Amino acid sequence: MNQQEQPRIEKFVVRFPAGMRDHIAAASRLGHRSMNAEIVARLQHSLGHWPDSLPVARHAAPAGDEECYLLDRFRGLPPAKRQALLALLD
């Protein structure tokens, strides 16, 4: 295969959240492929099902349960985020 027949390969740098690289490495080992091949396969799968896989528009909280929903979400926040939210409300 000469240079004109070779497929074009594009490079793209991605910053992963902490721990994601380890998850990708584990998944790639299970699939017996490189981390790059794992990432590309998952992106191809995701984009192949797009936009069908997008969430359907819906309300964030069931009607009438807004206060309970907000209180549950607030209680699930780390203390620093709770304090930040309360500071915004003051």
Would you place residue 26 in the very low, low, confident or very high pLDDT band (cuts 50, 70, 90)?
Answer: very high
Per-residue pLDDT at 57 exceeds 70? no
Q: What contacts 31, CB < 8 A, 6 or more positions away?
A: 37, 38, 41
**CA 48/CA 40 separation, integer angstroms:** 12
Q: Residue 71: its pLDDT value, please?
A: 86
